[in-house]
């Protein structure tokens, strides 16, 4: 195991897992914040795994996630805002 | 161990520490707006440092540029999503008007 794979494992266990746990409970806004942070961590993990395994083509996965994750978060903010304005709860 | 590899490892440790610190901030900070600060550390410092570390280790070339582009996309997208979530939290708490301009 090289340093890149070790860093990916540390980020998965020490960073991604708590974010997923936070994204599963609490207020919707806080869950969205945790999901947004989890997306950044997942991008970093994909980059590190691509380097660790020596497969440069795997970087495309991180590129797609880096583009789509902010767009997904913005869509979620629109949906949650509509709920908050209409008072339909979470 | 070449100096380039050593520099990449130092950048990797710094980036990973920033990412883990932001997770710790999200866990520990008590208020919703305070928690938003945790997001910016990850997207503005953590992932760009990791991307630079990977680019330094890869060496000059198209692959390094691609890694830097990914880091730049995340660095630009992070503040945008943080602003959107902050606006959402503000609307939820009544700080921002619900029909304020987009």
Going along chain A, which residue ranges are E strands? Answer: none
CB pair distance less than 8 Å for A30 and B27: no
Domain assignment present for residue B27? The answer is yes
Domain assignment present for residue B99? The answer is no
Task: Please give the pLDDT value at position B102.
Answer: 56
CB pair distance less than 8 Å for B16 and A11: yes
Q: Is the dihedral of CA A74, A77, A79, A85 positive or negative?
A: negative
The answer, yes or no, to whether ipTM is higher than 0.95 is no
CB pair distance less than 8 Å for A85 and B43: no
Domain assignment present for residue B98? The answer is no
Write out residues in chain B with pLDDT < 70, as ranges: 98-102
Query: CA distances (Å), B16 to each of A22, B32, B39, in order?
Result: 20, 24, 14
CB pair distance less than 8 Å for B88 and A62: no
Domain assignment present for residue B70? The answer is yes
- Residue-number span of the structural domain to which B63 is assigned: 3-93
Give the SS3 label for residue B48: helix
Q: Mean pLDDT of all residues in chain A?
A: 89
CB < 8 Å to A73, chain B: 81, 84-85
Q: How far apart are CA B56 and CA B9, in angstroms?
A: 9
CB < 8 Å to A84, chain B: 88, 91-92, 98
Task: Please give the pLDDT value at position A90.
Answer: 46
Q: Is A74 an interface residue toward B (CB < 8 Å)?
A: yes
Each residue's pLDDT tens digit, A17-76? 999 999 998 888 889 999 999 999 999 999 999 999 999 889 999 999 999 999 999 999
Domain assignment present for residue B42? The answer is yes
Q: Which two tokens stand for residue A66?
A: 């880096």
- Give the pTM: 0.90
| Count of the separate structural domains present in chain B | 1
Domain assignment present for residue B101? The answer is no
């Amino acid at each position: 195991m090289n340093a890149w794979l070790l860093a990916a494992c540390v980020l998965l266990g020490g960073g991604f897992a708590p974010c997923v746990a936070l994204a599963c409970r609490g207020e919707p806004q806080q869950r969205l914040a945790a999901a947004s942070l989890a997306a950044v961590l997942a991008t970093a993990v994909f980059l590190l795994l691509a380097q660790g395994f020596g497969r440069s083509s795997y970087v495309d996965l991180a590129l797609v996630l880096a583009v789509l994750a902010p767009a997904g978060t913005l869509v979620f903010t629109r949906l949650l805002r509509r709920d908050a304005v209409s008072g339909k709860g979470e | 161990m070449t100096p380039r590899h050593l520099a990449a490892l130092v950048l990797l440790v710094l980036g990973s520490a920033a990412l883990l610190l932001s997770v710790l901030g999200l866990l520990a900070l008590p208020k919703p707006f305070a928690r938003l600060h945790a997001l910016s550390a990850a997207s503005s410092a953590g992932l760009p440092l990791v991307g630079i570390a990977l680019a330094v280790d890869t060496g000059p070339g198209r692959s390094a540029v691609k890694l830097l582009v990914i880091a730049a996309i995340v660095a630009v997208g992070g503040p945008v999503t943080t602003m959107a979530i902050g606006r959402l939290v503000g609307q939820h708490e009544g700080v921002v008007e619900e029909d304020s301009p987009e």
